[in-house]
Amino acid sequence: TRSTRPQRMLKAVQKNGTKGNPESVISAIDYFCKHSEWAMNVGDEKGSILDSVVTEVNPSTVLELGTYCGYSTVRIARLLSPGTKLITLEFNPVNAAVARQIIAYAGLQDKVILVEGSSGDLIPQMKERFGIMTFDFIFLDHWKDRYLPDIKLFEECGLLRKGSVLLADNVICPGTPEYLEYVRNSPRYESKYYPAHLEYTKVEDGLEKSVFLG
Ligand SMILES: CNc1ncnc2c1ncn2[C@@H]1O[C@H](/C=C/CNC(=O)c2cc(-c3ccc(F)cc3)cc(O)c2O)[C@H](F)[C@H]1O
Ligand SMILES: [Mg+2]
C-alpha cells in the first residue's frame, strides 16, 4: 500500500538529518513540511514558544497527548533535565512506529516513553503503570474535541497539582472553543494566550497556557 505522510517524513529525516542530533531532526522535519508536504507538527514558530514554556517550567513529570510523528516529542525531550522522561500517547500504530524511529534517530529514546493507546483509556492508568503522582507539564495536541474531556479526566484522576502547567496547541486553528471557554472561565486555572500562526502558514493560531491553581 502507498506510504503515509509520516513514513515519508521519516525518510526525509533519515536522509537530511544527522543521527543523534535533535536540532537536525527538527530542522529536517520543518524543511520537509515547508518544501515537500505540509504536516500537522507544532512547527518552528509555535515550537519556539513550546521550548520557552518547557524551559521555564523545567518539569520532572511530562505528558504529551498525540505523538503523531514525534516532532514535539523531540522538541520537549531535548530540553529535559538528565534522568527526566516524558510520556507520550499515540493511538495510531503506524504513527507510533514512525515516531519511535524519529525519536531514536534524534538519540532521545532513553528520555521518552511512547505508549500506544487512547488518552481516555491511558490517563486513568498513569499512577499505577508509571508511578506518576502528578504532572508538572502537559502538552495537548491530539483530537481537538478531546482536550476538554481529557483535562476533566486529569482533574478526576488527581493528576494535577498547584502549579501544573497545561499547554494546548491549535486553540484558534482548527480551534478548541469548549476547552478555551473552560480554562478561561474556571477559577481553578490561570490562562494565557500566546499568539502565533498555524505551522508553516500565515493563518492565525496560537497556544494556550493554563496553570492549575489547586
Ligand atoms: C483521543 N485520544 C487520543 N489518544 C492518543 N492519540 C490520539 C488521540 N487523539 C488523536 N491522537 C493521535 O494524535 C494525532 C492527532 C492530532 C490531531 N491534530 C490535528 O488535528 C491538527 C490539525 C491541524 C490542522 C490545521 C488546519 C488545517 F487546515 C488542517 C489541519 C493542525 C494541528 O496542529 C493539529 O494538531 C494523531 F494523528 C492521532 O493518531
Ligand atoms: Mg497541533
Question: Ligand 1: does its nearest atom lie under 6 Å from the Cβ of 24?
Answer: no
Q: How many CB atoms lie within 10 A of CB 190?
A: 15
- Say whether pTM exceeds 0.90: yes
Question: Ligand 1: does its nearest atom lie under 6 Å from the Cβ of 146?
Answer: yes
**Quick one: which H or E segment has residue 165?**
strand 165-168
CB 108 within 8 A of CB 22: yes
- Nearest ligand 1 atom to the CA of 95 is 39
Q: Which residues are catalytic?
A: 141, 144, 169-170, 199
Indicate the SS3 state at residue 87.
Answer: strand
Q: How many CB atoms lie within 10 A of CB 48?
A: 12
* Residue of 5, 40, 87, 151 best suited for mutating to test ligand 1, as the one with most atoms within 8 Å of CB: 40
pLDDT band at 1 (very low <50, low <70, confident <90, very high): confident
Q: Summarize pLDDT for 132-183 with one digit per residue, the tens.
A: 999 999 999 999 999 999 999 999 999 999 999 999 999 999 999 999 999 9
Q: Which residue has the cell 476538554?
A: 148
Give the ipTM of the model, two decimals please.
0.99
**Quick one: which H or E segment has residue 62?**
strand 62-65
Q: Which ligand ends up closest to the CA of 143?
A: 1
